[in-house]
Amino acid sequence: MQIETVYQLIATEREAVDAEISRQLHSGVVLVNQIGRYIINSGGKRLRPMLILLVAKAWDYQGSAHHRLGAVIEFIHTATLLHDDVVDGSDLRRGNDTANRVWGNEAAVLVGDFLYSRAFQMMVSLQNMRVMEVLADTTNTIAEGEVQQLLNIHNADIDEESYLRVIRSKTAQLFAASAQLGAIICNRSAAEEQAMARFGMHLGTAFQIVDDALDYRGNAEELGKNLGDDLAEGKPTLPLIHILRHGTQSEKRLVREVIEQGDRNRIDAILEAIEANRAIDYTLEAARNEAELALQQLTLLPDNDLKSALITLTRYAVDRTY
């Protein structure tokens, strides 16, 4: 199955999520509408909402709560992007100027807050305590991950486990919640619910690891952001951590200095060190291992086209170039 087939398989479901997003974005404050629509409609992959749609339909879910929850997940994700871009000082996302560059940091942060609060209004409307519990825990974990990543900036002593701990909290947790919610609204067993949460956690981890590899190997136009952004921000991601562990003394010194200083101007030297140590190969292998762990969690799903779509989506998350 190709990724295009996955999109077609749930085209009606995705349209329903988009319609819910449009309805719920409305505010009496014009600036909220402007920024909300700008970031929501800027071309994201919508992978997280797709997880809840695919998992729910794999168990033949017949209700409509997955549409609202898909919108909730996308609102939470979008709120984190608005806040991330302010914290990171980013000026480009998905090939467009970031909201903070267009409207300023204050407006971007406050509209992010609006999207968070609207997401909680929507989830409360479903009157499902288990759903609220999972999403409340998820947003708290994401916030902790964001703070920990902030503390790790310019820290060249971060090891691989510390790096993974941050991306599991900051990125993978929302993937985990998305898949888990698909099981919850289908009233599946605790074992099935936790299997879906583990699936999402491993998939989200793989997704972020690939993102970190693409920051050094991707195409800037395809990625929709500047290459070397992580380097400029002093983020110790897996390609650099690998060099710090296996590089020559001069390579280790170079990477340490660049992380501590946040120096994009030395990216050519960093790329040479990455190539010499096969750091991207190592990073992508780590992502593939996470993807395999994700696929192992799908055994409890019935064998149907929706399960096949989840397998395809997992492969796509690792093999993509943007």
Structure tokens at 178: 């998305």
Task: Say whether pLDDT at 23 is over 80.
Answer: yes
At 235 the pLDDT is 92
Contact yes or no for 24/77 (Cβ under 8 A): no
Q: Which of 100-104, 204-208, 236-240 has the lowest mean pLDDT?
A: 100-104
With cut-offs at 50, 70 and 90, classify the pLDDT of residue 219. Answer: low
Poorest-pLDDT segment among 63-77, 81-95, 157-171, 177-191: 81-95
Question: Does pLDDT of 85 surpass 90?
Answer: no
CATH code of the domain occupying 3-319: 1.10.600.10
97, containing H or E segment: strand 96-97
Q: Are 64 and 88 in contact (CB under 8 A)?
A: no
Q: Residues, the chain, total?
A: 322
Please give the pLDDT value at position 224: 55
How far apart, in whole angstroms, are the C-alpha atoms of residue 313 and residue 322?
14
Domains of the chain, residue spans: 3-319
Q: What does the pLDDT look like over 273-302, one tens digit per residue? A: 999 999 999 999 999 999 999 999 999 999
Find the distance separating the first CA and the last CA of the chain, reported in whole Å. 20
Instruction: Tell me phi and psi for residue 179, to 5 degrees.
Output: -70, -40
Long-range contacts of the stretch 271-280 (C-beta < 8 A, 24+): 271/216, 273/243, 273/247, 274/216, 274/239, 274/243, 276/247, 276/251, 277/242, 277/243, 277/246, 277/247, 277/251, 279/216, 279/238, 279/239, 279/240, 279/242, 279/243, 280/213, 280/216, 280/217, 280/239
Identify the residue whose tokens are 């501590």.
Answer: 260
Q: Report how far residue 86's alpha carbon sits from residue 99's, in angstroms, rounded to the nearest whole number.
A: 9
**With a threshold of 0.85, does the pTM exceed it?**
yes
